[in-house]
Amino acid sequence: PLAQRLRDTLEAVYWPVSPFARPARIPDAVVLAAENDRVTGVAQAVRLADHFGVHAEIGPGSHLFHRRIAWSRLDQLVESHS
């Protein structure tokens, strides 16, 4: 279908700058995702987390996290891995 061809074309165009084009080199990466993100979506965050070998942390909100929620969750994650 046309939608799949478009996705494949866009992936090919962006491949040189894609994090998936090379091995992950970020130790202890944290991938935050928002339940209602309509820009990149949870599936993309999960794919990225899988690439880094970590779990995607999915929280409330949309593409632009509320700063207090995001930093609070990040603080919790850092403390739980310390």
- pLDDT at position 70, please? 65
- Residue 68: pLDDT above 70? no
- pLDDT at position 32, please? 85
- Residue 5: pLDDT above 70? yes
Residue predicted with more confidence, 31 or 63: 31
- pLDDT at position 26, please? 79
Of 37, 35, 39, which Cα lies nearest the Cα of 57?
A: 35
Q: What is the largest CA-CA distance in the chain?
A: 47
Of 69, 66, 59, 67, which Cα lies nearest the Cα of 31?
A: 59
Q: List b or e across 8-26, with b for residues whose CB sees 16 or more CB atoms inside 10 angstroms.
A: eeeeeeeeeeeeeeeeeee
- Residue 67: pLDDT above 80? no
